[in-house]
Amino acid sequence: MIALIVNARHVRATVEPRTHLADFLRDGLNLTGTHLGCEHGVCGACTLLLDGVPARSCITYAVACDGAEVTTIEGLDDDEVIVELRAAFTREHALQCGYCTPGMLIAARDLVLRLPVADDRSIRIGMSGNLCRCTGYVGIIRAIHSVIAARRARGVTAIAGAGRQALGPAGSGHGDETPSDQAAETPAQAVPATASDAATSIPDFKPETVIERDFVVTHPPRRVFDFFGDIPAVAACLPGASVSASKPDRAEGEVRVKLGPISASFAGIARIERDPASLSGRIVGAGNDRRSRSSTQGEIRYRLVPADQGAATRVTFSIGYSLRGMLAQFARPGLVRDLVERMTADFARNLERAISGVSSDDHASGEPVLDGFAVLGDVLRERVRHFFRRLIGGSSSGET
Ligand code: FES
Ligand code: FES
């Protein structure tokens, strides 16, 4: 049972815990102005106001909105900004089929309230979370620009925050905070504020995604384990990673990645644990990228197993991570898995060379980055090659 305010009306309802807010509004309250496109938090069609702040109703559980104030496009009929925006959208031909328009209007309203001046670049960035299948972006930007410019010319100033009263995503802060809630605080919020915070303050966490891999290096396990104790040397084997300070039990540094159109530099710290008896170890780290407003918490667990009668080492490891922010939208599991595949191959090759005393190619080239697009290109090429191999293999087997 939840009680919330929808478009200034008190509503009480019993909802399934798995029902998202958009379904609750559309199916339960017949408020069909909230549209559903991707239902993955990507397209913005389902945008509405949750406690006055734009939020994606397709990735918001209705039960999480107990006590919240929800405003859909229907509740904004007389809103002065929406009235101006509606007129501007019509004037500038900013809609064709109109499917994206409710979400566009609500996202645009937020920009009209908050942007101090009409600046196309800021408008484009602010609207980048709303997709239009009819691709009417130019008209949309023009419409928003014109409303902001007109309001500022009339002396209506921007409102700092525009409804944001608390940190955290829109709609947060309604649930009772219990000790278990605090313990389960999301990794993105748990990142220590400064690198000078003790590494031991990095909490353990349950990764949302875990990928397991292994590879073999032609050096004995003890030698590899000793090498793993040299953090700057290990970082030098990983394209995109750099270490600014390190001790045996902690390190500070940066990892640069590129996923889809987004580049990010995660600066953070890591806690390092090693167990010489079992030749195993763990690195738990957390980092933030200010530009893409993304944050991550990650963990690498490894174990060194003798191979080739002890002359070589099988490095078995798992990478667990949780990602928050803009980058999370592009980090599709398949793409991340391919990125890890490439990262593992590069790391294994560089590790082999480093332990053998040969310098690494990747770091010799200057600006290494873990590049998801490059990986995607490789993957596509490999899939095309595979397709033609199967085609040729299939026809030749038909002939024999
Ligand atoms: S339907 Fe919610 S973001 Fe696409
Ligand atoms: S106007 Fe058709 S999806 Fe935007």
Measure 335 CA to ligand 2 centroid, in angstroms.
28
> Would you say the C-alpha torsion 162, 81, 78, 57 has a positive or negative sign?
negative
Mean pLDDT, residues 19-35:
96
Yes or no: say if 95 and 88 are a contact pair by the CB < 8 Å rule. Answer: no
Question: Does the pLDDT value for residue 169 go beyond 70?
Answer: no
- 8-state DSSP, 313: E
pLDDT of residue 211: 81
Give the residue, out of 101, 127, 144, with the most ligand 2 atoms within 8 A of its beta carbon, to mutate for a pocket test: 101
Neighbours of 214 (CB within 10 A): 15
pLDDT in tens, 70-92: 999 999 999 999 999 999 999 99
Given pLDDT bands bounded at 50, 70 and 90, which one contains residue 250? Answer: confident
CB < 8 Å & 24+ apart, contacts of 159-164: 159/113, 159/114, 160/114, 161/114, 162/52, 162/53, 162/110, 162/113, 162/114, 163/49, 163/51, 163/52, 163/53, 163/113, 164/52, 164/53
Residue 108 scores a pLDDT above 60: yes
Closest CA to 258 of 318, 317, 319, 336: 336
Token output for 156: 């209506």
Phi and psi of 59, rounded to 5°? -115, 25
Ligand 1 center–CA 167 separation, angstroms: 22
- Of 38, 99, 106, the one to substitute when testing ligand 2's pocket (max ligand atoms within 8 A of C-beta) is 99
**105: Cβ below 6 Å to ligand 2?**
no
Is residue 329 scored above 90 in pLDDT?
A: no
Confidence (pLDDT) at 7: 96
User: Quick check: pTM over 0.95?
Assistant: no
Q: How many CB atoms lie within 10 A of CB 6?
A: 23
Question: Which carries the bigger pLDDT value, residue 364 or residue 40?
Answer: 40
Distance in Å, CA 22 to ligand 1 centroid:
9
CA gap 59, 169 in Å, rounded: 12
Mean pLDDT of the chain: 80
Cα of 100 vs centre of ligand 2, distance in Å, is 5
Residues lining ligand 1, Cβ inside 6 A: 36-39, 41-46, 56, 58
**What integer pLDDT is reported at residue 385 of this predicted model?**
63
CA-129 nearest atom, ligand 1: 3
Atom of ligand 2 nearest to the CA of 94: 1
Cβ neighbours of 223 (radius 10 Å): 13
pLDDT cut 70: percent of the chain above it: 74
| pLDDT at 156 (0 to 100) | 93
Query: Which pLDDT does position 174 carry in this prediction?
Result: 59
